[in-house]
């Protein structure tokens, strides 16, 4: 039997003794599945041959002499692998106004919401730092840009009821990067504007007869959280396919100079109040496009996600029957069950259906449904389960974060925490996302799912002579602890990972460690609770469609984890958790929030 301690597909012998590549000997870590921490498993970056065996030599995607196993930017596109939409591929072309990216997506399912995520870099990477820079226009009542009140974007943010960004006090003019997409055929495949507005996407007629539309997609900055460097822009376009994509969509990078202009008006006009005209004869601080210009750019990643519905569950211990509100043993127990029966997509009775789905959780674990001990796997009968279904994954994320979580915290836990500030609610989030997905990395397969011809990029969910990409189910778990203690004033705040680890130390300071437990948390208590490992949300692809290439998307609210479609690791990296209710191997996490309570 070949020893493989981390179950990553590379033997311990290979990882410890090293391998020769480019005239050097390289070593990987036999104790972790991802030796260089770039989000790609070691076996993915080594690669398999057509027979499913390890390649004779590992991949070196960018041919820079560094095997991908140690390279932090496999395709050398300037975006680190762990935040790269396509860590193994870049388009290799520079796009401009005369030569835009020409995008075609074939064989999408009619009427299924589809999202295209773009990741790109200006040809001059210094331009990444221009995004959302604030400038201050001087006092001026005569030019195209008028400023008579000296207000800034911070004042504008306050008037819109939002908190201003730190730099918005700096001025009243900013540079905004956007994608400009020409959509021919009278806007074929466009959804209604109401479905685009939540993404701040605007669509106008490019031609007088409306046969060609133009969409503007705001871009956000992708920042490397380890270095603070800006590495890319990202933006998302939503489509509603009709089943036909007869002409390419031209995609360009455009910079918009926007200013808060004070527009002259007549305060004596009948409709002055409706216009917002003030007594000084101005409509103040109107966002106005002053100028726009194109920039050259490269495509570092692109993904297409066709949504087929998402389901979520929020699980918590019911404080009305919880005999110890400072102990989360029922939630921990359920997490152990879901790790083995939900994330892994187990099918014990071989009926082609996963044994445990989001739709099953309430019947089996919600105490109001009186589940038997066997139904709930002996998890304590103190849980409440709130489930919801959504049309798209984005809707699921938004509703869960902004509405459902707040509702539970306010209606269920606020009275409890007001009475006892030591109570720190712990919520367990489970999600399923049904989707078909394809991305730029499929260019590697030469199977027709992604092809590039000059400036044209063609993605195809069912290329000729190949199986159609089928709907896959991605399951994910996420834990989040909250605190709201401030006397009788409760304001909810996610707990950081360090805070939750400290809470564990406090709760279980008198619990003896397991005999084999030597992984004490640095600076923590002596009981050896392995809280540090619970910092990564985890998710699994439960049912890949017909073994076709796929791209893995992030679990609900979790940091993105990339998986190369060329090879999948044989086993998932596990984290041992030692608690007072016994040791369990979990692939879920408690992901710390920002701020301290």
Q: Does residue 549 have a pLDDT over 60? A: no
Element housing 502 (H / E): helix 497-507
Q: Which of 269, 295, 321 is the last residue of a domain?
A: 295
What pLDDT is recorded for position 456?
97
Residues 6+ apart with CB under 8 A from 489: none
- pLDDT-based confidence at residue 144 (cuts at 50, 70, 90): confident
Q: For residue 64, is pLDDT > 70?
A: yes
Same domain, 269 and 314: no
Does 235 lie in the same domain as 348?
Answer: no
Mean pLDDT computed over 28-42? 92
Q: Are residues 420 and 543 in the same domain?
A: yes
Of 234, 268, 295, the residue at which a domain comes to its end is 295
Residue 35 is given by DSSP the state T
**Cα–Cα distances in angstroms (integers) from residue 187 to residues 305, 381, 547, in the given order:** 20, 53, 34
Give me the helices (H) in 165-305, please.
Answer: 184-187, 193-196, 272-275
- Do 418 and 567 have their domain in common? yes
With respect to residue 84, please indicate whether it lies within any of the assigned structural domains: no
Instruction: Tell whether 257 and 393 lie within a shared domain.
Output: no
Q: Are strands 456-460 and 213-218 parallel, antiparallel or unpaired?
A: unpaired
* pLDDT at residue 597 in the model: 53
Q: What is the mean pLDDT of the chain?
A: 84
Residue 513 domain-assigned?
yes
Torsion of CA 19, 25, 30, 34, to 10 degrees: -90
Residue 580 pLDDT class (50, 70, 90 cuts)? very low
H helix count then E strand count, the chain: 12, 23
* Dist CA 314 CA 316 (whole Å): 7
Q: How confident is the model at residue 516 (pLDDT cuts 50, 70, 90)?
A: low
What is the count of structural domains for the chain? 3
Residues 560-567 have a mean pLDDT of: 32
Q: Work out the number of other CB atoms within 10 angstroms of the CB of residue 162.
A: 10
Residues 424 and 515 in one domain: yes
Measured between alpha carbons, how far is residue 510 from residues 62, 164, 469, 498, 513 in Å?
53, 46, 53, 20, 9
253 part of a folded domain: yes
3-state secondary structure at position 341:
helix
- Average pLDDT, stretch 502-515? 71
In angstroms, the CA 213 to CA 178 distance is: 16
DSSP string covering 99-148, please?
S-EEEEEESPPTT--EEEEEEEEESSGGGGGGTT-EE-PPSBSSSSS-BS
Distance of alpha carbon 207 from alpha carbon 375, whole angstroms: 62
Q: Is the domain of 434 the same as that of 522? A: yes
**Cα 513 off chain centre by:** 36
Q: Please check whether residues 272 and 326 belong to one and the same domain.
A: no
Mean pLDDT of 278-295: 94
Q: In this model, does residue 523 exceed pLDDT 80?
A: no
- Is residue 513 pLDDT above 80, yes or no? no
291 and 419 housed in the same domain: no
| Residue 193 placed within a domain | yes
- On whether residue 78 sits in a domain, the answer given is no
pLDDT tier, 514 (very low <50, low <70, confident <90, very high otherwise): low
Q: Which of 51-55, 252-256, 549-553 has the lowest mean pLDDT?
A: 549-553
pLDDT digits (tens, 9 = 90+) for 204-261: 999 999 999 999 999 999 999 999 999 999 999 999 999 999 999 999 999 999 999 9
Domain span at 491: 307-444+473-586
More confident call, 575 vs 299? 299
pLDDT band at residue 510, thresholds of 50, 70 and 90? confident
Strands 426-439 and 297-317: antiparallel
| pLDDT, tens digit (0-9, with 9 covering 90-100), for 430-462 | 999 999 999 999 998 778 999 999 999 999 999
* 463: in domain: no
Same domain, 417 and 319: yes
Per-residue model confidence (pLDDT) at position 449: 95
Mean pLDDT throughout 419-434? 92
> What's the pTM value of the predicted model, to 2 decimals?
0.81
Residue 47 and residue 135 in one domain? no
3-state SS, 198-237, equals HHCCEEEECCCCCCCEEEEEECEEEECCCCCCEEEEEEEE
Verify that 229 and 311 share a domain, yes or no: no
Q: What is the pLDDT of residues 337-372, one digit of tens each?
A: 998 889 887 888 888 888 899 999 999 999 999 999
Percent of the chain exceeding pLDDT 70 equals 85
Q: With 0-12 CB in 10 A as exposed, 13-18 as middle and 19+ as buried, what is 126?
A: exposed
Where does the pLDDT of residue 421 fall: very low under 50, low under 70, confident under 90, or very high at 90 and above?
Answer: confident
Domain-located, residue 111: no
pLDDT digits (tens, 9 = 90+) for 68-108: 999 999 999 999 999 999 999 988 899 999 999 999 999 99
In a domain, 455, yes or no: no
Give the 3-state secondary structure of 415-434.
HHHHHCCCCCCEEEEEEEEE
């Amino acid at each position: 039997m070949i020893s493989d301690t981390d179950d990553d597909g590379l033997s311990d012998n290979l990882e410890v003794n090293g391998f020769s590549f480019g005239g050097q000997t390289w070593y990987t870590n036999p104790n972790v599945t991802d030796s260089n921490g770039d989000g790609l498993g070691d076996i993915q970056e080594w690669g398999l041959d057509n027979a499913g065996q390890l390649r004779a030599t590992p991949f070196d995607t960018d041919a820079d002499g560094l095997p991908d196993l140690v390279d932090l930017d496999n395709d050398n596109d300037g975006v680190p692998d762990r935040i790269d939409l396509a860590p193994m591929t870049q388009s290799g072309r520079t796009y401009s106004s005369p030569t835009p990216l020409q995008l075609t997506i074939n064989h999408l399912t009619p009427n299924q919401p589809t999202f295209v995520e773009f990741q790109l870099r200006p040809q001059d990477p210094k331009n990444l730092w221009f995004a959302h820079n604030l400038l201050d226009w001087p006092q001026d009542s005569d030019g195209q840009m008028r400023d008579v009140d000296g207000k800034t974007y911070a004042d504008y943010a306050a008037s819109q009821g939002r908190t201003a960004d730190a730099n918005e006090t700096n001025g009243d003019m900013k540079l905004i990067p956007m994608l400009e997409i020409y959509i021919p055929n009278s806007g074929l495949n466009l959804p209604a504007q109401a479905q685009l507005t939540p993404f701040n996407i605007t669509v106008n007629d490019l031609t007088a007869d409306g046969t060609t539309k133009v969409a503007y997609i705001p871009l956000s900055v992708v920042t490397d959280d380890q270095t603070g460097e800006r590495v890319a822009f990202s933006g998302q376009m939503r489509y509603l396919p009709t089943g036909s994509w007869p002409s390419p969509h031209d995609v360009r990078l455009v910079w918009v100079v926007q200013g808060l202009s004070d527009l002259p008006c007549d305060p004596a006009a009948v409709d002055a109040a409706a216009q917002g005209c003030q007594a000084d004869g101005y409509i103040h601080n109107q966002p106005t496009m002053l100028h726009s210009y194109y920039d050259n750019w490269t495509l570092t990643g692109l993904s297409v996600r066709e949504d087929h519905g998402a389901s979520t569950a929020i699980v918590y211990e019911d404080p009305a029957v919880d005999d110890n509100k400072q102990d989360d043993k029922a939630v921990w127990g359920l997490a152990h069950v879901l790790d083995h029966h939900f994330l892994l997509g187990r099918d014990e009775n071989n009926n082609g259906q996963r044994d445990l789905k989001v739709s099953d959780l309430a019947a089996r674990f919600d105490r109001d449904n009186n589940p038997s001990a066997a139904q709930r796997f002996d998890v304590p009968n103190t849980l409440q389960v709130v489930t919801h279904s959504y049309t798209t994954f984005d809707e699921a994320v938004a509703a869960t974060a902004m509405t459902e979580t707040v509702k539970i915290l306010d209606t269920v836990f606020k009275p409890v925490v007001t009475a006892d500030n030591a109570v720190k609610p712990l919520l367990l989030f489970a999600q399923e996302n049904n989707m078909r997905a394809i991305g730029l990395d499929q260019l590697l397969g030469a199977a027709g799912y992604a092809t590039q011809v000059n400036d044209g990029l063609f993605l195809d969910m069912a290329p000729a002579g190949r199986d159609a990409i089928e709907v896959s189910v991605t399951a994910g778990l996420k834990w989040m602890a909250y605190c709201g203690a401030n006397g009788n004033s409760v304001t909810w705040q996610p707990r950081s990972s360090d805070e939750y680890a400290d809470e564990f130390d406090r709760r279980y300071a008198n619990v003896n460690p397991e005999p084999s437990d030597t992984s004490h948390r640095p600076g923590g208590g002596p009981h050896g609770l392995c809280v540090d490992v619970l910092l990564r949300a985890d998710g699994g692809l439960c049912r890949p469609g017909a073994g076709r290439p796929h791209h893995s998307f992030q679990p609900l609210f979790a940091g993105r984890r990339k998986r190369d479609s060329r090879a999948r690791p044989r086993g998932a990296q596990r984290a041992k958790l030692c608690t007072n209710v016994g040791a369990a191997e979990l692939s879920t996490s408690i992901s710390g929030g920002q701020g301290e309570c």
